[in-house]
């Protein structure tokens, strides 16, 4: 973090404290807090040292919680908190119990953000599949980003609770969620959505909804949309599809591309650095796997 960036953030925190001491400033505090959360997300995503991100994020998570104490119903702030908690729980929490706890909070925040934007979402946790899909139809394009964040937080939660069969039974709902997100997001669709959809189609055998060839199409779409710059798409393509079908040539080609790539891409740097480490591990274990 540069000195200028650090000082800029310090001024913003002081601004937040000053605003909370006055009356009638709730909307200003909410907006400033949301901007801070968005800037924080960007800083984390552009960090090129995973160890630094891992060490720094817990303090940021507590800070965002403190901002939510003052603006508990702000959908933007709730959504930012959901993303950060889900990312930390899925990527950096080594203890399974801790990962489960952190991603549970991420999912709560993501659902609260959706609930604040779309009242029917408040009951999603109690809906069966048909009820959930029917309710999804009411989510409009203006709330696409909030739906995406809730889907991401839910995926992180399900990954952390993968030994719970009740959690795995929710995978079809997550698929339906991302399908609807793609429908409403239009040109603003996040390319990583297709990576997630590919992962979902390789987690289960065909009899339970898996579809490796459809997954391949999703992974290829994710790579195409990012211009190959999102290296995690290639890693998941290799891990989820090439290994599943024992396609050594595709596996090694994808991972070699990842290792040789420049990881510095705005908004993708941290995930790219992590993807390169994963790629090296997968290549190192390939002889034993294939």
Residue 6 has pLDDT above 50, yes or no: no
Question: Quick one: tokens of 261?
Answer: 């790539």
Residue 215 has pLDDT above 70, yes or no: yes
Distances from the Cα of 283 to the Cαs of 62, 66, 277, in angstroms?
Answer: 37, 42, 10
pLDDT of 13 reads: 35
Question: On the CB side of 134, how many CA atoms lie within 13 Å of its CA?
Answer: 6
The residue-averaged pLDDT of 167-175 equals 89
Residue 60 has pLDDT above 80, yes or no: yes
Find the farthest-apart pair of alpha carbons in the chain and give their distance in angstroms, rounded. Answer: 66
Residue 22 has pLDDT above 60, yes or no: no
pLDDT band of 283, cuts 50, 70, 90 = very high
pLDDT of 33 reads: 59
Share of the chain above pLDDT 90, in %: 69
pLDDT of 113 reads: 97
Instruction: Encode pLDDT of 63-99 as tens digits.
Output: 889 989 989 999 988 998 998 899 899 989 989 999 9
pLDDT of 31 reads: 59
pLDDT of 204 reads: 82
Domains of the chain: 28-179 (1.25.40.920), 191-290 (1.25.40.920)
Instruction: Encode pLDDT of 92-128 as tens digits.
Output: 998 999 999 999 999 999 999 999 999 999 999 999 9
pLDDT of 34 reads: 59
Distances from the Cα of 6 to the Cαs of 75, 81, 153, 205, in angstroms?
Answer: 26, 20, 28, 49
| Average pLDDT over the chain, rounded to an integer | 87
| 281 contacts 64 by C-beta, under 8 angstroms | no
The residue-averaged pLDDT of 198-223 equals 92
Cβ contacts of 14 within 8 Å, gap of 6 or more: none
Question: Which of 7-16, 43-52, 137-146, 185-194 shows the lowest mean pLDDT across its residues?
Answer: 7-16
pLDDT of 9 reads: 34
Distances from the Cα of 109 to the Cαs of 76, 82, 256, in angstroms?
Answer: 10, 5, 38
Higher pLDDT, 179 or 64: 179
């Amino acid at each position: 973090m540069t000195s200028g960036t650090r000082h800029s953030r310090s001024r913003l925190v002081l601004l937040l404290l000053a605003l909370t001491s006055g009356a009638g400033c709730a909307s200003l505090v909410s907006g400033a807090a949301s901007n801070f959360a968005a800037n924080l997300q960007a800083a984390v995503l552009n960090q090129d040292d995973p160890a630094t991100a891992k060490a720094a994020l817990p303090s940021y998570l507590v800070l965002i919680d403190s901002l939510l104490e003052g603006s508990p119903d702000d959908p933007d702030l709730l959504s930012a908190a959901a993303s950060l908690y889900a990312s930390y729980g899925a990527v950096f929490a080594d203890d399974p119990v801790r990962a489960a706890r952190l991603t549970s909070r991420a999912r709560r925040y993501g659902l609260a953000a959706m609930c604040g934007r779309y009242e029917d979402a408040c009951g999603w946790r109690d809906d069966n599949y048909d009820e959930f899909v029917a309710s999804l139809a009411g989510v409009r394009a203006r709330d696409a980003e909030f739906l995406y964040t809730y889907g991401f937080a839910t995926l992180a939660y399900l990954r952390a609770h993968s030994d719970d069969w009740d959690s795995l039974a929710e995978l079809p709902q997550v698929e339906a969620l991302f399908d609807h997100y793609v429908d409403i997001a239009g040109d603003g669709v996040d390319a990583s959505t297709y990576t997630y959809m590919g992962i979902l189609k390789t987690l289960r055998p065909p009899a339970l909804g898996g579809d490796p060839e459809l997954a391949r199409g999703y992974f290829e779409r994710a790579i195409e949309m990012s211009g190959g710059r999102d290296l995690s798409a290639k890693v998941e393509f290799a891990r989820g599809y090439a290994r599943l079908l024992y396609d050594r040539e595709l596996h090694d080609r994808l991972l070699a591309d990842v290792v040789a790539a420049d990881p510095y891409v705005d908004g993708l740097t941290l995930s790219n650095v992590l993807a390169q480490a994963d790629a090296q591990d997968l290549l190192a274990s390939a002889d034993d796997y294939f």
